[in-house]
Structure 1
Amino acid sequence: MKKILVTGAFGQIGSELVTKLCDLYGTENVIATDIKEVEHSGPFEQLDVTDGKRLFEIAKKYKVDTIMHLAALLSATAEKMPQKAWDINMGGLVNALEVAKELDLQFFTPSSIGAFGPATPKDNTPQDTIQRPTTMYGVNKVSGELLCDYYYHRFGVDTRGVRFPGLISYVAPPGGGTTDYAVEIYYEAIKNKAYTSYIAERTYMDMMYMPDALEAIVQLMEADPSKLKHRNAFNISAISAAPEDFAKSIQTYMPEFQLDYDVDPARQQIADSWPNKIDSTAATEEWGFKATYDLDKMTKDMLEKIAAKQKK
């Protein structure tokens, strides 16, 4: 990667990924795009990813060699607006893949544990297993995984991707995902020393701290392509946890913290269809993936960073 175009650059992942890419490759070599106009120190272009012509023009204008396609509606939001989710999540992906094909670009887009469904093995979910999701977001992600594989095998596009678990960050606000409670709980701990979870007790899901997620993207994109047997949709994870595990970890640093529950049936149904814990062996063997943050290390950093942020 030498010159990178990022779509959805100021969403949940992009907000921090753009900064990391600028640090690694130089601000002038990272072209940030988003549907909303945003102040940015480096090159920025306003872009609706459903406009394939505009996407092509931007990629050609800046002579990029890589597209990181992040623009998407997340799980809970997608379930409320399924047609819009299909138009953005799949229409935008096809457009980005077409640009990568026409200009011979390297390509990254994230998949998700949402690509799994109720029939998927819940524990140590294999890299290659049944995927029959019951949400529009999940259908989008499975379709996207297959589409990226197709563009690699049919057209030789250097496509790469991971299945992200729930991502936890103190930088970007929650963006309509089912795992957003795992971000909200830290903010409420600092603000109110209490949190009401919309996800039920003993509901385990995979999670990851954002620094590990960003490092995984860069590591995969820089990996030797000859070693990538899967290329797209690598399982990666760091933490398998339920709401009470987050509460217990927070109580290590804030003993007065209290957790209670008011379960949202819609988001709980989505959570129940996802794995408890996925197997990341393929990512470790093929490109050296390894997470550095466990739950308690992440909790300490989240509480410190949010407390400092609130004081500003």
Structure 2
Amino acid sequence: MTDATPPTTPTRRRLLLPVAVVLGLLVALLLPATGASALGKVKCDVSGQPAVAIGYYDPIVNHNATGPSMHEHQFFGNIAWHSLANPNAANYGDLVGKANNCRKVLGLSYSADSAGYWTPTLRYVSGPKAGQLVPAQQFTAYYRSAAGTTFGAAQPIPADTRLVGTRYNWSCGMKSGARSAPVQSIPDCTGLSGKPGLTLTAHIDFPSCWDGVRPNHTATQNGDTRDNAHYAYTVNKKCPATHPIGVAELRETIQFPYVGNGTDVALSSDKMMGTSDGRSLHADFWQTWRDKEFGDFLKTCVVSQTSAYSTSKCDP
């Protein structure tokens, strides 16, 4: 029987090796670094931009309520809350296309990503700083493909969707070695510098599987307006049969300038939820991007393999 692939002679090896090297170099130049994931970043509450309010209101869970919410929140992104007599009464039209405190993405105006993002506040509960806020050092909204894969579909989250993200973890920053491993309570970050990547960091993931039912929030609707019943988390990076439509996956990451042992700080929601040590961590997201810009952002920064790694466009 004749072997269909003749053995490679020493002469052929000498000829093929340079070709392989050249191809490898081309691949390295054309493709993103190994292990990277396609995503677009929106960084908010940064130097030079207006601060977003801290207050006892929650426009999703306590929609149209006249009294305070059960715990305090820090808001990022949309700054329309400043001009509203009752932020709990906000509706889609009050927020979409309004100014925000995020860096420009794709060279768009500041009003392109007018989404609202908020989380429980972090405060000192003991020691000389008891009662003082631990302000967010940096907020980043990461948008990835529907299943969090390297490249793939990232259908826009429907306009006016209101979600509460409940999957979370804490770390001491991605550059902190063993302490960068995700944990469920505030870790001991003692001794770190407090610089980005070396400080207390919270991560909250949102569900990215949708059942196809579009938001239907009226201006007069009272009470809890979250859309979580129409969304589910992936299971092994796949959407369940009950929620088969994959939309862009959102992760909110908040870096705090805190490098203590974790015993003197707590979230505003910890006590209310009968827990401690940051185990009540969650986040809210109100999808009030301008439609066209949101679609362009996802197409360029998540779906497109050739442009998703342009830091000037997708990681300002």
- TM-score tier by shorter-chain length is under 0.3
Give 1 or 2 for the bigger CA radius of gyration: 2
Q: Which has the higher contact order (CA 8 A, sep 6+)?
A: 2
Give the number of the structure whose residues are more often helix, by fraction: 1
What TM-score do the two structures reach when normalised by structure 1? 0.24
